[in-house]
């Protein structure tokens, strides 16, 4: 018989809003029942403030290993493209066991900061010389092993990457570990799906890397290879990318994608930074999710998302840690709002209406959008995995807070240090801010980084 345990919360954010004195019975990692306004029973695990864990919809876990190593000014104007050169040099040395060690550290930092599911946009496929491994999915298996090591829920998004630029340009030397043809990618996808099937709540999608890396024909054939499940793509992150797209196709990237394939609720357009108002409204109408990564977009100098017309048209978004330069759910949400404030010289830009809480709005939108983009439930409801965080009610910034004021004060004032514990499938994986396996995962990570940087 599956293990059963009950939790009692003084306040918790459920699927239909905040509730008091809530008792959740967890059976086999899943919410079996939720009762509201009931007292705790003897033996219940007691919590003061509970909120659902957030989905992190976009990560390249291996990049955690180079965080902070591209922050020196170069000879020429630094840009996304000079950062990418550093990334390509780092990537050249990573073997499967290195990837597992780096990803495990990134995943425990995600859990510690409030993310309970990650969408891993995975393009590091081949051996260090660029030759395909006998087991094509060996690097995907390393990511799955890191998810097993840490307990995080994984949506794996194997990336199809074939070209270096618009018009099917031949790949560059630095991209040799990423490149597949469609036949090889089909086998890789099968192997990745078999690995993910070993995880509780594991999901597989597919990710055409970007419009630079796939042709229209390849994109259409890729969609037939993965007819259900999430579809993620990097798009319109950089102005040069928009210019190259206009030069090659006559139209802008988001416009081209919407004209070329049937974008729907399965899709997540990662960044979508440089959209005209018309593109933003058209994207919103598809029901697809915009995958926003404010910390990375600031770090790489990408630009600021055109939120006004997108949200006015009912657009959906979620947040991602992308380059993992800094892993922190509240900081992503805070910078999402602050970017808009700085651009518009205004306040409470992402609030959903007069009097509505901005923290409550960005949290609820990122929760729903992230869940949709990763093909998983993200709210606390019967039948869903019991994934939640507890906040420490004695943090001074949370003193006497209730309902949405808790989220405003957590996101804008307290930050991640107010997280007390994190639970995945009803099991405590983080206590007093630290993952239960942090010492051993951190030690393994230090050994790998020492070798990679030697
Ligand atoms: Zn990315």
* Ligand 1 centroid to residue 370 C-alpha, Å: 15
Residue 454 falls inside a structural domain: no
Residues 6+ apart with CB under 8 A from 264: 286, 287, 288
State the catalytic residue, choosing from 98, 149, 322, 387.
322
DSSP 411: I
Report the distance separating Cα 61 and Cα 143, nearest Å. 8
Tell how far the Cα of 383 is from the centroid of ligand 1, in angstroms: 31
Q: What is the pLDDT of residue 214?
A: 96
Range of the domain at 212: 54-374
Q: Check if the beta carbon of residue 386 is closer than 8 Å to that of residue 426.
A: yes
Report how far residue 354's alpha carbon sits from residue 348's, in angstroms, rounded to the nearest whole number: 10
Asked whether residue 170 is assigned to any structural domain, the reply reads yes
Q: Indicate if 133 and 244 belong to the same structural domain.
A: yes
Judge if 192 and 249 occupy the same domain.
Answer: yes
The CA 123 to ligand 1 mean position distance, Å, reads 10
| Nearest of 326, 314, 316, 427 to residue 374 by alpha carbon | 316
Could you tell me the pLDDT band of residue 1, with boundaries at 50, 70 and 90? low
CA angle 203, 57, 321 (to 5 degrees): 135
Catalytic residue among 7, 125, 271, 274: 271
What distance in Å separates the CA atoms of residue 310 and residue 325, rounded to the nearest whole number?
27
C-alpha of residue 322 to centroid of ligand 1, in Å? 5
446 in any annotated domain: no
Note if 322 is an active site residue.
yes
Q: Check: CB of residue 62 under 8 Å from CB of residue 95.
A: no
Q: Which residue has the higher pLDDT, 339 or 78?
A: 339
Domain final residue pick, 374, 402, 427: 374
What percent of the chain has pLDDT above 70? Answer: 99
Question: Could you report how far apart the first and last alpha carbons of the chain are, in Å?
Answer: 51
Is residue 24 located within the same domain as residue 161? no
Mean pLDDT of the chain: 95
Whether 113 and 31 share a structural domain = no
Does 319 fall in a domain? yes
pLDDT at 323: 96
Strand order in the sheet with 30-35: 30-35, 17-27, 4-14, 45-52, 388-391, 419-424, 427-431, 434-435
pLDDT value for 72: 79
pLDDT at 78 over 80: no
Q: What is the DSSP secondary structure assignment for residue 206, as one 8-state letter?
A: B
Measured in Å, residue 233 CA sits from the centre of ligand 1 at: 9
CA–centroid distance, 109 to ligand 1, in Å, is: 18
Ligand 1 centre and the CA of 271: distance in Å?
8
Closest CA to 16 of 367, 336, 264, 393: 367
Is 232 annotated in the active site? no
User: How many A from CA of 21 to the centre of ligand 1?
Assistant: 40
Sheet (strand 316-319) strand order: 231-235, 267-271, 289-292, 316-319
42-48, Cβ contacts within 8 angstroms, sequence gap of 24 or more: 43/6, 44/6, 44/7, 44/8, 45/5, 45/6, 45/7, 45/8, 46/7, 46/8, 47/7, 47/8, 47/9, 47/10, 47/12, 47/390, 47/421, 48/9, 48/10, 48/11, 48/390, 48/391, 48/392, 48/393
For the residues 126-140, what does the mean pLDDT come to?
A: 93
Provide the pLDDT confidence category of residue 88 given band limits of 50, 70 and 90.
confident
The DSSP string of 88-115 is HHHHTT--HHHHHHHHHHHHHHHHHHTE
Residues near 416 by Cβ (< 8 Å), separated by ≥ 6? 112, 113, 114, 328, 329, 330, 331, 433
Tokens 């950062």 -> residue: 83
Listed residues 345, 374, 403: the one ending a domain: 374
Lowest-pLDDT range, 68-77, 332-341, 375-384?
Answer: 68-77
Q: Could you give the residue ranges of the DSSP H alpha helices within 129-276?
A: 138-150, 182-196, 216-225, 239-249, 253-260
Indicate if 33 and 134 belong to the same structural domain.
Answer: no
At residue 85 the predicted structure's pLDDT band, cuts being 50, 70 and 90, is: confident
| Collapsed DSSP state (helix, strand, coil) of residue 237 | coil
Among residues 273, 157, 266, the alpha carbon closest in space to that of 205 is found at: 157
Residue 286 Cα, ligand 1 centroid: separation in angstroms? 22
Element at 451 (helix H, strand E): helix 438-453
Do 241 and 291 share a domain, yes or no? Answer: yes
Query: Residue 3's pLDDT is what?
Result: 84
Q: Is residue 146 part of a domain?
A: yes
Q: Ligand 1: distance of its center to the CA of 34 in Å? A: 37
Q: Are residues 45 and 59 in the same domain?
A: no
In a domain, 183, yes or no: yes
> Is the pLDDT confidence value at 2 over 90?
no
Q: Show which of 374, 408, 424 is a domain's final residue.
A: 374
Cα 72 to its chain centre, rounded Å, is 27
What is the rounded distance in angstroms from the CA atom of residue 364 to the CA atom of residue 319?
A: 11
207 pLDDT above the threshold of 70: yes
> What's the number of domains the chain is made of?
2
């Amino acid at each position: 018989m599956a293990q059963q345990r009950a939790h009692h919360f003084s306040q918790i954010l459920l699927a239909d809003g905040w509730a008091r004195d809530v008792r959740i019975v967890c059976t086999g990692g899943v919410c079996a029942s939720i009762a509201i306004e009931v007292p705790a029973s003897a033996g219940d695990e007691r919590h003061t403030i509970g909120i659902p864990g957030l989905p992190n919809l976009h990560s390249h876990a291996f990049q955690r290993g180079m965080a902070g190593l591209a922050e020196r000014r170069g000879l020429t104007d630094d840009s996304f493209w000079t950062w990418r050169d550093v990334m390509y040099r780092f990537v050249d040395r990573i073997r499967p066991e290195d990837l597992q060690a780096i990803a495990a550290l990134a995943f425990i930092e995600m859990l510690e900061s409030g993310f309970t599911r990650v969408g891993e946009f995975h393009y590091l496929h081949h051996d260090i010389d660029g030759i395909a491994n006998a087991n094509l999915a060996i690097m995907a298996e390393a990511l799955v092993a890191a998810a097993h090591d840490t307990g995080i829920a994984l949506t794996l998004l194997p990336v199809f990457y074939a070209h270096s630029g618009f018009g099917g340009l031949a790949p560059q030397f630095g991209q040799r570990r990423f490149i597949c043809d469609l036949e090889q990618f089909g086998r890789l996808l099968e192997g990745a799906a078999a690995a993910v099937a070993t995880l509780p709540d594991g999901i597989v999608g597919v990710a055409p890397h970007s419009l630079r890396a796939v042709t229209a024909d390849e994109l259409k054939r890729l969609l037939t290879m993965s007819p259900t499940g999430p579809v993620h793509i990097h798009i319109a992150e950089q102005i040069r990318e928009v210019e190259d797209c206009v030069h090659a196709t006559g139209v802008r990237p988001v416009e081209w994608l919407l004209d070329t394939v049937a974008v729907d609720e399965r899709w997540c357009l990662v960044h979508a930074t440089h959209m005209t108002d018309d593109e933003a409204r058209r994207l919103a109408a598809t029901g697809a999710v915009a995958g926003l990564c404010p910390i990375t977009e600031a770090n790489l100098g990408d630009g600021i998302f055109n939120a006004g017309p997108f949200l006015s048209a009912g657009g959906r978004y979620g947040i991602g840690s992308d380059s993992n330069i800094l892993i922190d759910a509240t900081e992503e949400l805070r910078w999402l709002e602050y970017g808009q404030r700085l651009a518009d010289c205004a306040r409470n830009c992402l609030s959903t209406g007069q009097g509505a809480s901005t923290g409550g709005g960005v949290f609820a939108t990122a929760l729903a959008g992230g869940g949709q983009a990763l093909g998983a439930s993200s709210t606390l409801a019967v039948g869903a995995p019991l994934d939640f965080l507890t906040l420490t009610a004695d943090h001074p910034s949370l003193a006497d807070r209730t309902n949405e004021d808790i989220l405003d004060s957590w996101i804008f004032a307290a930050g991640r240090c107010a997280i007390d514990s994190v639970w995945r499938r009803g099991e405590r994986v983080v206590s007093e801010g630290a993952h239960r396996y942090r010492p051993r995962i951190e030690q393994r990570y230090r050994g790998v980084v020492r070798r990679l940087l030697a």
